[in-house]
């Protein structure tokens, strides 16, 4: 009997980089994994996945009807022998039936990839071709969701994000959820320790040599070179490269004092909890 | 017997207890009543799947003669031997909701049972042959079909395209399902169009499939997808690599498991693969530029007649 580990994150929080590492770790190849074939599982909101398991079109359902069925789709994974690793951007919420969207029985755990919202905001703005102020506003809206238009048909179903703070707490404080937080900043600062902890949590090989190789194959220089040669399918058009130098602290150059103040005012409590603010409430 | 309506579709005569305004009605002459190949009835369908069958999803079971499908809060369907569909509605469910899943998955299964290859796409008449656009939900198949229709090309089938043993597309339901954002973009007045279901912004757009429309040989198949590209791209798929994309774009391909239909399906995939121009068409995910896309497809068709 298998089960799912969710690779959960708010958008633009390092999920892609983490999955690159995971792909390299699992493949254990002699060369870096292809950035255009990073699939080690599905994305939770994939319409194709849901439709295939259900046997009918989610396009014919409204978003709440779809959400009510999603736990069943994930439970179906239990029939596979292997553990599955799936990406998810949804906040950890419950359906109208009152059960967790991810399906309690199917979920072995969740690795929550967390990034400083001061860095998330400019990255999110860039990805959406919006202003940073708009991104900050979206990150502060309880009803913020991806793919929520009911007038068309995106290839992913609706994903309720809530506010950035609510998204974080929905996962890390979820009752009965085996959840482990990995900070993007720790992945940068001490990758061997951070990725080793993650691999152990996910029941994957975590000997030092194998982790170190996977880290080397997932280095931003390696990814950037691949993107330069072959392009990257997940990069939004008309943006500069997806795999720029992974950094924390970009916000110091990109955010105005007013924008910083807005983010801290809205998300300060959660930021402090995870080490993004000092005791005086100043960004670190 | 109880009231029944008669319809023609997919080259078949249907007798149905459920009214199907999407379909072409037939008059209730005794000739048609007697020769109806397909029976659609309301009745009891057992809960919990098929005894002795194989479960292929949380809501789907198959055995050698039947598919059992549940759409929670809507209905259970039992599709048998390519000639009968039994519908057991949930109490209080509206008929539009029954129809959308009947004409989708249930009919897809029926067509499989009749020995057809069933593609997930749209079939569009080009001269005396046809082009099929296949792809996942959300790829833009129906938008493209609507665009071709606006240019005067007849639509043979939308969403479910059965292919017979001679590799011809069989004409299906005379409508395209369109989302509101597409009707707005194409300046189609949706005021008088039937909604697919209550509470959805998706509409049935009638298309003028001639009553005597015949199956047409499939010559071109384009696999639609979207990506973070900045320009449209058409990539031909050469002979040896054609089989898998056709299999992957089969409608409800998982229904084939356990229905003992896979060998015939694979054979039809192989036959079709040998006769068509098959190409992958990838469009930019942001912004659906319809007219240039149609122009590009027509140019490709002209280049590979």
DSSP string, A9-33: E-TTSSHHHHHHHHHHHHH--SSPP
In this structure, of A268-277, B117-126, B206-215, B294-303, the range with the lowest mean pLDDT score is B206-215
Minimal CA–CA distance to A86: which of A98, A97, A101, A67?
A101
Distance from CA of B30 to the nearest CA of A (A): 35
Most A CBs within 10 A among B134, B138, B143, hence the mutation to make, goes to B138
- B171 DSSP assignment: P
pLDDT band of residue A245 (cuts 50, 70, 90) is low
* Residue A38 touches chain B, beta carbons under 8 Å: no
Q: A17-66 pLDDT, tens per residue?
A: 999 999 999 999 998 988 888 778 899 999 999 999 999 999 999 999 99
pLDDT at residue A100 in the model: 97
- Classified as helix, coil or strand, A219 is coil
Distance from CA of B299 to the nearest CA of A (A): 26
Most A CBs within 10 A among B137, B193, B251, hence the mutation to make, goes to B137
User: Rounded to whole angstroms, what are the CA distances from B69 to B66, B86, B96, B105, B156?
Assistant: 10, 11, 17, 8, 27
Close Cβ partners of A204 (under 8 Å, ≥ 6 residues apart): A22, A25, A26
User: Rounded to whole angstroms, what are the CA distances from A107 to A74, A76, A94, A99?
Assistant: 8, 11, 14, 12
Q: A177-222 pLDDT, tens per residue?
A: 999 999 999 999 999 999 999 999 999 999 999 999 999 999 888 8
CA atoms of A52 and B257, how far apart (whole Å) = 13
Please give the distance of CA A165 from its chain centroid, rounded to a whole number.
14
Would you say B298 and B265 are in contact if contact means Cβ atoms under 8 Å apart?
A: no
In this structure, of A95-104, A173-182, A208-217, B239-248, the range with the lowest mean pLDDT score is B239-248
Of these ranges, B128-132, B170-174, B193-197, the one predicted with the greatest mean pLDDT is: B128-132
pLDDT at residue B31 in the model: 60
CA atoms of A120 and B76, how far apart (whole Å) = 46
In terms of Cβ atoms closer than 10 Å to its own Cβ (0-12, 13-18, 19+), residue A26 is middle
Q: B88-115 pLDDT, tens per residue?
A: 999 999 999 999 999 999 999 999 999 9
pLDDT at residue A178 in the model: 97
Would you say B4 and B16 are in contact if contact means Cβ atoms under 8 Å apart?
A: yes
Which residue from B minimizes the CA distance to A150? B201
The mean pLDDT of A76-100, rounded to a whole number, is 94
* Strand partners of residue B195: B203
Record: contact B182-A152, CB cut-off 8 A: yes
pLDDT at residue A174 in the model: 97
Distance from CA of B226 to the nearest CA of A (A): 9
pLDDT at residue A241 in the model: 73
pLDDT at residue A226 in the model: 86
* Beta carbon pairs, A and B, within 8 Å: 88
Q: Which of A62, A154, A238 sits opposite B230 (nearest CB)?
A: A238
Record: contact A233-B228, CB cut-off 8 A: yes
* Strand partners of residue B256: none
Record: contact A56-B199, CB cut-off 8 A: no
For residue A224, the tally of other CB atoms under 10 A from its CB is 18
pLDDT greater at residue B72 or residue B258: B72
The mean pLDDT of A62-87, rounded to a whole number, is 94
Please give the distance of CA A17 from its chain centroid, rounded to a whole number.
10
pLDDT at residue A192 in the model: 96
pLDDT at B41 over 70: yes
Record: contact B200-A60, CB cut-off 8 A: yes
User: What is the average pLDDT score of chain B?
Assistant: 90
User: What is the average pLDDT score of chain A?
Assistant: 92
pLDDT band of residue A225 (cuts 50, 70, 90) is confident
pLDDT at residue B285 in the model: 76
ipTM over 0.85: yes
pLDDT at B211 over 60: no
pLDDT at residue A183 in the model: 97
Record: contact B254-A56, CB cut-off 8 A: no
**Which residues of A, range 213-272, sit inside 8 Å of B by Cβ?**
232-238
User: Rounded to whole angstroms, what are the CA distances from A25 to A82, A216, A245, B16?
Assistant: 16, 10, 21, 56
CA atoms of A108 and A63, how far apart (whole Å) = 26
The DSSP string of A93-140 is: -B-TTSSBTT-TTTEEEEEEEE--HHHHHHHHHHHHT--HHHHHHHTT
Q: A109-147 pLDDT, tens per residue?
A: 999 999 999 999 999 999 888 999 999 999 999 999 999
- Classified as helix, coil or strand, B39 is strand
Q: What percent of chain A has pLDDT over 70?
A: 97
pLDDT greater at residue B273 or residue A233: B273
For residue B239, the tally of other CB atoms under 10 A from its CB is 9
Chain B residues close to A56, C-beta within 8 Å: 59, 69, 71, 101, 104-105
- Strands B60-62, B5-9: pairing kind: unpaired
- Strands B233-236, B277-284: pairing kind: antiparallel
pLDDT band of residue A238 (cuts 50, 70, 90) is low
Would you say B159 and B142 are in contact if contact means Cβ atoms under 8 Å apart?
A: yes
The DSSP string of B218-264 is: EEEEEEEEEES-SS-EEEE--GGGSHHHHHHTBTTGGGGTTTT-HHH
Q: Which of A47, A60, A155 sits opposite B196 (nearest CB)?
A: A60
The mean pLDDT of A6-13, rounded to a whole number, is 97
Q: B114-132 pLDDT, tens per residue?
A: 999 999 999 999 999 999 9
pLDDT at A271 over 80: yes
For residue B288, the tally of other CB atoms under 10 A from its CB is 17
Record: contact A237-B286, CB cut-off 8 A: yes
pLDDT at B30 over 70: no
Close Cβ partners of A128 (under 8 Å, ≥ 6 residues apart): A134, A135, A236
Q: Which of A56, A72, A152 sits opposite B104 (nearest CB)?
A: A56
Of these ranges, B156-170, B179-193, B225-239, B253-267, the one predicted with the greatest mean pLDDT is: B156-170
Q: Which of B139, B200, B284 sits opposite A237 (nearest CB)?
A: B284
pLDDT at A151 over 90: no
The mean pLDDT of B53-76, rounded to a whole number, is 96
pLDDT at residue B1 in the model: 46
Minimal CA–CA distance to B69: which of B85, B82, B83, B81?
B85
**Which residues of B, range 51-90, sit inside 8 Å of A by Cβ?**
56-60, 69, 71-73
For residue A60, the tally of other CB atoms under 10 A from its CB is 22
Rg (CA), chain B: 19
Chain B residues close to A58, C-beta within 8 Å: 137
pLDDT at residue B32 in the model: 58
pLDDT band of residue B166 (cuts 50, 70, 90) is very high
Q: What are phi and psi of A117, to 5 degrees?
A: -65, -20
CA atoms of B261 and B266, how far apart (whole Å) = 9
The mean pLDDT of B243-271, rounded to a whole number, is 88
CA dihedral for A222, A227, A232, A238, sign (positive or negative)? positive
pLDDT at residue A127 in the model: 87
Would you say A32 and A217 are in contact if contact means Cβ atoms under 8 Å apart?
A: yes
In this structure, of A23-37, A99-113, A237-251, B157-171, the range with the lowest mean pLDDT score is A237-251
User: Rounded to whole angstroms, what are the CA distances from B186 to A71, B142, B143, B289?
Assistant: 37, 12, 9, 11
């Amino acid at each position: 009997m298998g089960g799912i580990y969710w690779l959960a994150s708010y958008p633009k929080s390092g999920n892609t980089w983490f999955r690159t590492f995971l792909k390299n770790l699992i493949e254990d190849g002699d060369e870096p994994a292809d950035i255009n074939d990073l699939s080690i599982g599905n994305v939770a909101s994939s319409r194709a996945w849901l439709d295939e398991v259900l046997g009918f079109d989610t396009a014919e359902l409204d978003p709440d009807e779809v959400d009510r069925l999603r736990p069943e789709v994930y439970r179906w994974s239990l029939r596979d022998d292997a553990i599955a690793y799936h990406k998810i951007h949804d906040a950890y919420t419950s359906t109208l039936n009152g059960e967790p969207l991810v399906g309690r029985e199917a979920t072995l755990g969740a690795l929550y990839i967390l990034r400083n919202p001061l860095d998330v905001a400019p990255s999110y703005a860039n990805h959406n071709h919006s202003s940073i102020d708009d991104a900050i506003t979206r990150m502060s809206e309880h009803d913020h969701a991806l793919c929520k238009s009911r007038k068309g048909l995106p290839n992913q179903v609706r994903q309720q994000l809530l506010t950035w703070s609510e998204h974080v707490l929905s996962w890390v404080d979820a009752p009965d959820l085996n959840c482990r937080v990995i900070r993007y900043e720790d992945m940068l600062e001490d990758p061997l320790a951070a990725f080793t902890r993650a691999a152990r949590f996910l029941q994957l090989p975590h000997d030092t040599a194998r982790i170190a190789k996977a880290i080397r194959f997932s280095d931003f220089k390696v990814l950037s070179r691949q993107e330069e040669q072959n392009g990257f399918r997940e990069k939004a058009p008309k943006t500069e490269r997806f795999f720029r130098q992974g950094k924390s602290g970009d916000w110091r150059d990109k955010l105005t004092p007013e924008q910083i103040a807005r983010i801290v005012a809205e998300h300060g409590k959660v930021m402090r909890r995870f080490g993004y603010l000092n005791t005086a409430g100043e960004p670190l | 017997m109880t009231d029944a309506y008669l319809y023609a579709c997919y080259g078949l005569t249907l007798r149905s207890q459920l009214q199907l305004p999407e379909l072409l009605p037939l008059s209730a002459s005794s000739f048609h009543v007697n020769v109806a190949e397909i029976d659609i009835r309301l009745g009891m369908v057992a809960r919990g799947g098929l005894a002795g069958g194989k479960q292929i999803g949380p809501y789907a079971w198959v055995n050698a003669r039947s598919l059992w499908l549940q759409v929670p809060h809507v209905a259970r369907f039992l599709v048998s031997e390519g000639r009968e569909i039994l519908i057991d509605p949930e109490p209080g469910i509206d008929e539009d909701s029954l129809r959308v899943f009947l004409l989708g998955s249930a009919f897809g299964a029926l067509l499989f049972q009749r020995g057809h290859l069933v593609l997930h796409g749209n079939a569009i008449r080009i001269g005396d042959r046809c082009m099929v656009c296949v792809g996942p939900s959300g790829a833009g198949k129906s938008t493209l079909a609507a665009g071709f229709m606006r240019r005067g090309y007849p639509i043979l089938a939308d969403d479910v395209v059965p292919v017979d043993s001679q590799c011809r597309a069989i004409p299906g339901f005379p409508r395209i399902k369109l989302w509101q954002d597409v009707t707005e973009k194409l300046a189609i007045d949706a005021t008088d169009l039937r909604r697919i279901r209550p509470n959805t912004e998706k509409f049935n757009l009638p298309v003028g499939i001639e009553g005597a429309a015949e199956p047409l040989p499939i010559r071109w198949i384009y696999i639609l997808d979207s990506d973070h590209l900045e320009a449209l791209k058409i990539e031909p798929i050469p002979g040896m690599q054609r089989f898998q994309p056709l299999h992957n774009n089969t409608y409800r391909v998982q229904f084939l498991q356990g229905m003992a239909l896979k060998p015939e399906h694979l054979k039809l995939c192989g036959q079709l693969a040998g006769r068509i121009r098959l190409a992958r068409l990838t469009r930019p995910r942001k912004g659906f530029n319809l007219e240039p896309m149609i122009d590009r497809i027509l140019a490709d068709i002209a280049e590979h007649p």
